Structure 1
């Protein structure tokens, strides 16, 4: 470690460049991980808010809440500790000045799907809704009357809740009766029992229903099946994995070039009795120091950048995940030093001095 640190201090510019490259790679990795987490949250926030273990949809729906159609009468076939019915539709909401894609949830006021209210109050009358607080950033306020693209009904925002987006769209929560008026219009009385799914809170999700027409879906599996969720997550994760490989290659190239330039010096040191093991550990220690400094600076810059990003950028930093990625970056950087270690081991002192 002493030899490694002394050489870093003596050749500041050379090693600063290596640490700088690692800093930029780690900055990109951390930012991509924040983007992946943020985009995932855009899709699943409202589902996580349920704190549910499973959701029951029709077998033909292919795990899609929107494509599932059932009767609330089927609730009697469900054997679970806690159940809650839900209706869902997508629409464009407008308050006259602003428009926004939304997802409307129809729920019962006495069931666990009712969200916490951080501003205003819960819905009490027909056509009242609790809205995701993300709509406030788009110009929507308490008391706004909303027109929906799919209905003649007008809804009034009476409260806001936090962390309520479904498939990247802000959620509006309303009573099941209002939901059915919005969805079916004049035919609402004939379809007042129609819902999209049944959300379940139970320690076990096996044998919740014996109805062959219904499908019990574990909540994480339901989230994974949301349109675009898995594809988006895999794309960003593969980018991060490629960056790990790239950082390893970059470090390997830099250190190998530096090692080749110092072959004669290593030959003299080996001739003086310094072992290949000591010199190899010196290179590994040098790599660790550079990787640690570069990764730490990259992490700090990412967190600072995150503090200045506009709310419209869907970035959410998971510190535990970022630290894990930082550890992986240091490991692959050290792995990249293997080529330099092999070169040192193969140095013949006599030939190196002769050069």
Structure 2
């Protein structure tokens, strides 16, 4: 460790450049992990708030809520105490100045998926809705009359709730009659018992329903089946894993070049009786110091960047995940140093000093 630190102090510029590269790689990894978490949250915020076990949809819907259609009577036949019926439709909502893609949820006020109102009040009558606070950030406000792209019905915002987005769209919560008027229009009375699915809390998913036309889906599986969710997560995670490989290769190249430049010095040290193991440990220690500093600076820079990012950027930093990624970056950097260690072990002292 003494040899490694002493060399870093004597060649500051050289090693600052290496730290800078490692810092940039770490910064990119941490930022991508935050972006992956943020984009995932856009899709699943409303679902996570349910704290549910499963979602029951029709078998033919292929795990898609919007493609599922059943009756409230079907929900009543389920052998579970805690259930919540749910209707869902997507639309474009607009007030006098703004437009936004929204997901409209039809729910019952006395069931567990009813959101907590943080501003305003809960819906009490027809066509009143509780809106996601994401709409508030976009300029919508209490009392706004919302026109919808799919119907002549208008909705009034009477309250706001936190963290309520589904498949990247802010959610509007209304009662079931409101949902049915928006979805079916003049045929709402005929379809007054129609819903899209049932949200369930239970310890035994297999016992929820015996109806072969219905499918009880675990919540995590339901989320992974949302359009684009899995593909988006895999793409960002692949980029992160690829950066780990890049980090290892960069460190390996830098350290190998430095080792080659110091072959004669290592040869002299070996001729004086310094064992290869000591020199190898010195290179490993040096790599650990450089990687640790680079990762720490990248970590701090990422958190500082998060403070200044606008709310429109979907970034959510998960500290435990970032710490794991930081440890992995240090580990792959050390792995990249193994090539240089092997070069040191093979050094012939006589040849290295020109003997």
Relative to the length of structure 2, the TM-score reads: 0.99
Following TM superposition, by how much is the alpha carbon of 1:149 offset from its aligned partner in structure 2, in angstroms?
Answer: 0.6
Asked whether the 8 Å contact 1:259–1:340 carries over to 2, the reply is yes
Deviations 1:71-109 (A, max 9, x none): 110012211130000000000000121100000000001
Partner of 1:194: 194
Partner of 2:72: 72
Partner of 1:92: 92
Deviations 1:90-147 (A, max 9, x none): 0000012110000000000110010011111111111110000000121100010111
Partner of 1:275: 275
Following TM superposition, by how much is the alpha carbon of 1:207 offset from its aligned partner in structure 2, in angstroms?
Answer: 2.0
Secondary structure, in 3 states, of the residue corresponding to 2:199? strand
CA-based RMSD of the aligned residues comes to 0.7
Partner of 1:210: 210
Partner of 1:119: 119
Distance 2:77 2:167 in 1: 29
Deviations 1:214-267 (A, max 9, x none): 000000000000000000000000000110000100000000000000000001
Following TM superposition, by how much is the alpha carbon of 1:185 offset from its aligned partner in structure 2, in angstroms?
Answer: 1.2
Partner of 1:317: 317
- Counterparts in 2 of 1:23-62, with a 5 A limit? 23-62=23-62
- Counterparts in 2 of 1:135-154, with a 5 A limit? 135-154=135-154
Asked whether the 8 Å contact 1:77–1:210 carries over to 2, the reply is no
Deviations 1:157-205 (A, max 9, x none): 0100010000100000000111111111111111000000000011221
- Counterparts in 2 of 1:234-249, with a 5 A limit? 234-249=234-249
Partner of 1:22: 22
Following TM superposition, by how much is the alpha carbon of 1:151 offset from its aligned partner in structure 2, in angstroms?
Answer: 1.1
Asked whether the 8 Å contact 1:205–1:216 carries over to 2, the reply is yes
Secondary structure, in 3 states, of the residue corresponding to 2:60? helix
Distance 1:96 1:204 in 2: 48
Distance 1:91 1:232 in 2: 23
Asked whether the 8 Å contact 1:89–1:105 carries over to 2, the reply is yes
Secondary structure, in 3 states, of the residue corresponding to 2:96? coil
Secondary structure, in 3 states, of the residue corresponding to 1:206? helix
Partner of 2:354: 354
Q: For structure 1, which segment, 98-107 or 72-81, has the greater mean C-alpha deviation from structure 2 after superposition?
A: 72-81
Secondary structure, in 3 states, of the residue corresponding to 2:26? helix
Distance 1:136 1:117 in 2: 13
Asked whether the 8 Å contact 1:86–1:196 carries over to 2, the reply is yes
Distance 2:204 2:326 in 1: 37
Distance 1:83 1:69 in 2: 16
**In the comparison of the two structures, how many residue pairs are matched?**
355
Distance 1:109 1:115 in 2: 9
Secondary structure, in 3 states, of the residue corresponding to 1:97? coil
Residue 337 (structure 1) aligned with residue 333 (structure 2): no
Relative to the length of structure 1, the TM-score reads: 0.99
Distance 1:339 1:84 in 2: 59
Distance 1:217 1:41 in 2: 20
Deviations 1:4-60 (A, max 9, x none): 000000000000000100000000000000000000000000110111000000000
Structure 1 gaps, min length 5: none
Distance 1:96 1:42 in 2: 25
Asked whether the 8 Å contact 1:77–1:211 carries over to 2, the reply is no
Asked whether the 8 Å contact 1:132–1:172 carries over to 2, the reply is yes
Partner of 2:178: 178
